[in-house]
Amino acid sequence: MKLYPLFADLQGRRVLVVGGGPVAERKVKSLLSSGAQVIVGSPTLTDPLQNHAQQREIVHLNGCFEPHWLDAMWLVIAATEDRDLNQRIAALATERRLLINVVDDPVLSTFQVPSIVDRAPLTIAISSAGHAPVLARRVRERIESLFDHSIGSLVSLAARYRPSIRKARPDLRQRREFYDWLLDGPVSAALRQQQPKQAEHLLEAALSQPLKSPQGRVVLVGAGPGDPGLLTLNALRALNEADIILHDRLVSPAILDLARRDAVQIEVGKRPGENHDHTQARIHALMLSHASQGQFVARVKGGDAFVFGRGGEELEFLREHNVPYEVVPGVTAALACAAYAGVPLTHRDYAQSVRLATAHCREDTLPDELASMLSENQTLAFYMAVGQLEWLEQTLIRHGKPGDTPFAIIENGTRPEQRVLHGNLLGMAISAREHQIVSPAMVLIGKVAALAPKLEWFGTSAAARVADETDLLHEPESRSEADSFIACA
Ligand code: SAH
C-alpha cells in the first residue's frame, strides 16, 4: 500500500490553505464542511473566499507566504500556481513534520485528498495514490451509482438505534442478520421513498418481535431501450440487489450483464404460440411465488413499465396479494429513439404535442383516436407497428393525413445496430419492406421526422458524414444514397 488511508477529525483544528484562487476555494469548502478552523494565506481572494472572510468563517492572512504561517497548524494545503513557492512551502512544512498536500502535485505532497462518495455519515474515499486520477474518478462514478443517497439516512438511523439493536439482538449472528435486513429490506426501501417515519416505525416493529425471515418484495424496473447508459441509477441498484430477475425479451444482454452475479435470471417474454394472457398469468405467478419466499424480485421491462408495458396490471396483482413493491421509471422507446435519430419530438415551428400510440388496436375502436391524430402539428409515435405499417399508412391517409407527411422508423434504437429509415407517409410500408425493417422499431410520423437527416449523430452514417466533411476532396453528393437510410451499422 503506497499511501496509508486515514479519516482525520479536523473539528476545530487549524488548517492552513496557501492560495486564494478557485482551487483553494474548493479545498476551503470541504475543509469547512468538516468543521476545520481554516486559515487562508494569499494576497488576493476569490469573491466567495472574501465572503467567508467577511463572515468570519475563515481567517485571512493578507500577503505573500511567510514561514511563521505554519505555526500551530495541523495540516497544510498549498494551492498556489507557483511551483517554486509550493516547493518551498512543502519543504518548510515537511521540516516541521506537518502533513502537506500540494494540489495536483503528488511528488511534493505528504498527504493526498481522495475522491469521495459522500453519503454522510458514510463517506467512501478512493485514491489511486496519484497514479491514475481518471481511473479513480471512474471508480467513484461506479460507486456513486451503487448507493442511493438515502444510505446516509439509513446509517444515521442505525447509529441512533444501535443500543436498542444490541439489546434486542444480543447474539452476534442474529444481529448481523438484522443489519442485513435493515440494509436490504423495507426500512431501506422506505427511506428511499422519502418516508423516514415509516422507516423508523418498521425498524421499531421489527425490533419488538423475534427475527422473522425477510419480507419479499418486487421492484418494477424500466430498463430503457437497450443502451445500458440510459439506465437510471435506481435501475442499476435494483439490478445489483435483486435475488431474482424476471425480464422481457426486449431487455438487452448488456443490461442483464450488470445484474448481481448470483442473481437468478428468468426470461418471461411471450413464448411461441403462447397467448398474452397466459404469459401475463405466468409472470404474476412467478413474482408471487418468489416474493412469498422472501426474495427481492426485479421485474425488468424494456423502456418504461407504464408505457405499453402492462406494468399497471402487474402492480394491481401485487397489491391484491399484499406484496410490497416500488417502481423505477425508464426511458421509453419513443423518447430514446427520437433522441438517437435526431428527431425533436416537439419543435417550436413543427410540433406542439406528441402522442404515444400503439398500432396494435382495432380500427372499430379508433375513429376518435384517428381523428385526433390528424393535426399537422402533432408528432405521432407508434409502438409495435412493424407488422402494421401498411394498415397504418393506409388508415391515416384514408382519414385525411397528407401523404407527404414525413416519417422516421428507428429500428433497434440506441443499440449498436440501430437503423433509421425516413421518407413520406405515402410509400412508408413499401420502403420498410424493401429495407426489411424488423421489430423492435419505433415509427415517428410528423413534420419533425424530416429533421432526422439533418440532426443525425448516432451510427455509422453519421460518422461517415463527419469524415466526409473533413475530406475536402470528397463531393458531398457522393455519399447521398438513392434510398432513404440515413444511419445504419
Ligand atoms: N415499455 C416499452 C414498450 C414496450 S412495447 C417502452 O416504454 O419503450 C414494444 C415496442 O416498443 C416495440 O414494438 C417497439 O415499437 C418499441 N421499442 C422498444 N425498444 C425499442 C428499441 N430499442 N428501438 C425501437 N423501438 C423499440
Ligand 1, atom 18, residue with closest C-alpha: 333
Average pLDDT score over residue span 278-296: 93
Output the average pLDDT for the chain.
90
Pocket test for ligand 1, best of 442, 458, 488 (most atoms within 8 A of CB): 442
Q: Which three cell numbers stand for residue 254?
A: 448488456
Same fold, 14-113 and 217-331: no
Q: What is the DSSP string of 18-59?
A: E--SHHHHHHHHHHHHTT-EEEEE-S---HHHHHHHHTTSEE
In the CATH hierarchy, which top-level class contains the domain 217-331?
alpha beta
- pLDDT in the model for residue 432: 97
What pLDDT band is residue 223 in, cutting at 50, 70 and 90? very high
- pLDDT in the model for residue 173: 62
Task: Ligand 1, residue 443: give the atom nearest the CA.
Answer: 15
Phi, psi (5° rounding) for residue 185? -100, -155
Of 33 and 366, which is predicted with more confidence? 33
Q: What is the pLDDT of residues 428-462, one digit of tens each?
A: 999 999 999 999 999 999 999 999 999 999 987 66
Q: What is the pLDDT of residues 185-216, one digit of tens each?
A: 899 999 999 999 999 999 999 998 876 666 78
**For the whole model, what pTM was predicted?**
0.67
Kindly tell me if the per-residue pLDDT of 370 is higher than 80.
Answer: no
Average pLDDT score over residue span 202-231: 89
Domain boundaries, the chain: 14-113, 151-207, 217-331, 335-487
Q: Locate all alpha helices (DSSP H) within 221-366, ordered by sequence.
A: 233-241, 253-256, 276-292, 311-320, 333-341
Residues serving a catalytic function are 248, 270
Q: Find cell 486564494 and name the residue.
A: 20
Residue 424 to residue 484: CA distance in whole angstroms: 10
Ligand 1, atom 11, residue with closest C-alpha: 383
In the CATH hierarchy, which top-level class contains the domain 14-113?
alpha beta
Kindly tell me if the per-residue pLDDT of 17 is higher than 80.
Answer: yes
335-487: CATH homologous superfamily?
Tetrapyrrole methylase, C-terminal domain (3.30.950.10)
Task: Ligand 1, residue 224: give the atom nearest the CA.
Answer: 8
Q: What is the pLDDT of residues 166-178, one digit of tens each?
A: 999 887 767 877 8
Of 460 and 106, which is predicted with more confidence? 106
Residues whose beta carbon lies within 6 Å of some atom of ligand 1? 225-226, 250, 301-304, 307-309, 332-333, 337, 383-384, 410, 412-415, 439-442
